[in-house]
Amino acid sequence: MARVLVCGGAGYIGSHAVRALRRAGHAVVVLDDLSAGHAVAVPSDVPLVRAGMHEVAAVESALARHAIDAVMHFAAWLDVGASVRDPLGYYHNNVTGSLAVLTAMQRAGVRVLVFSSTCATYGEPERVPMDESLTPRPINAYGETKLAIERALPHLATADGLRYVALRYFNAAGAEPDGSIGEDHWPEIHLIPRAIEAATGGRPLTIFGDDYPTPDGTCLRDYIHVTDLADAHVRALDVLMAGGASGIYNVGTGQPHSVRQVIDTVSRVVGQPVQWQMGVRREGDPSALYAASDRITQALGWHPRHPDLETIVQHAWAWHRSHPRGYDDRPDRP
């Protein structure tokens, strides 16, 4: 049993990791500034430290006060398009903020980290499926900020004995199958929840381009169930706590799905057509991203339990149907 500080544990992937950690018997403390996260997504018996990751003293004090053994660091800005328009904001939040967490860890003597990275570190990949031997060449500031932290980790390992796993997520989607927690970003930008919104009378969806070199012209992505991501985090933690090696791993199903295929799946699952219009490419979007995840299977014994898109969309839809306004905790939300 480990005592784990989950930075960003009130957010989408972090809140699912909190559930998975507790199911595995670990003790959890959440640190979140609630700028994007939701207090109600944190179980009522989990301590919630309301502080920003930039606040080194607050993070350090949480680490010491709760006798933390390991950190899972989810807190970040994640909008690829916004990162192209506001690179400084992204560097400040994702790089400076993560360095603050690492500084607090160093001061508190906490030397185990599971870091949320992304397949956006690869950029436009030389080949697909993508494995970890590809040279990272991000094409947006978001990917650059995650890569910057990944690249700092081995130096901290050498200097300070940090042991880490960085998980390069593909496209997180779906929700806890029991419908208790799910995805609630506002405004929502991600394809599956946007398509659900567009199938249920909300804003129509704009497809960001159909002139990509893919079978139907729309981008290919690898949608990974959020509970499978959470499971990868718990496995990474367990291996590190047992003295296992640091590493960087892809976490995806290896199945590419086009934007049009996602729209068709959402229409089928919801039982109503997704209202859409064709738009132009979104800056910073690579044409095809899907994973070879053999390395994490070998190192951590990880396999996706919900690899099919239909199940992912069903769980996303079940969450949306029972929570049409998400957690309903944002007064600014229409």
- Contact with ligand UFG (CB under 6 A): which of 34, 51, 189, 299? 189
**Of these, 15, 93, 118, 267, which contacts ligand UFG (CB under 6 A)?**
118
Distance in Å, CB of 117 to ligand UFG, minimum: 9
Query: Measured from the CB of residue 278, what is the shortest distance to ligand UFG in angstroms?
Result: 9
For the question of residue 91 being annotated catalytic, the response is: no
| Three-state secondary structure call for residue 172 | strand
Asked if 219 touches ligand UFG (CB under 6 A), the answer is: yes
Strands (E), 146-246: 163-169, 171-173, 205-208, 220-221, 223-225
Of 102 and 259, which has the nearer Cβ to ligand UFG? 259
Cβ proximity of 83 and 284 under 8 Å: yes
The span from the CA of 13 to the CA of 190, in Å, is 13
Q: Of these, 268, 282, 295, 323, which contacts ligand UFG (CB under 6 A)?
A: 282
CB of 156 to ligand UFG, least distance (A): 23
- Residue 147 as a binder of ligand UFG (CB under 6 A): the answer is no
Kindly state the smallest distance separating residue 196's Cβ from ligand UFG, in Å.
Answer: 12
Q: Is 119 one of the binding residues for ligand UFG (CB under 6 A)? A: yes
Q: Are strands 220-221 and 27-31 parallel, antiparallel or unpaired?
A: unpaired
Site for ligand UFG in 72-101 (CB under 6 A): 78, 80
Stretch that binds ligand UFG, among 84-92, 226-234, 282-290, 291-299 (CB under 6 A): 282-290
Residue with tokens 């892809």: 250
Annotated catalytic residue: which of 142, 169, 290, 327? Answer: 142
End-to-end CA distance of the chain: 42
Q: Which is nearer to ligand UFG, 61 or 91 (CB)?
A: 91
Rg (CA), the chain: 19
How far apart (Å, rounded) are the C-alpha atoms in residues 105 and 149? 14
Residues numbered 220 to 279 that lie near ligand UFG (CB under 6 A) are 221, 259
Could you write out the DSSP letters of every residue in 27-67? Answer: EEEEE---SSS-GGGS-TTS-EE---TT-HHHHHHHHHHTT
Going by C-beta distance under 8 Å and a sequence separation of 6 or more, which residues neighbour residue 237? 2, 4, 21, 26, 70, 72, 112, 114, 165
Stretch of residues binding ligand UFG (CB under 6 A), selected from 26-34, 118-126, 266-274, 310-318:
118-126
Contact 84, 43 (CB under 8 A): no
Tell whether residue 3 is a contact of ligand UFG (CB under 6 A).
Answer: no
From residue 195 to residue 214, what is the string marking binding to ligand UFG with x (rule CB under 6 A)?
Answer: ----------xxxx------
Which residues of the chain form contacts with ligand UFG (CB under 6 A)? 78, 80, 118-120, 170-171, 189-191, 194, 205-208, 219, 221, 259, 282, 285, 289
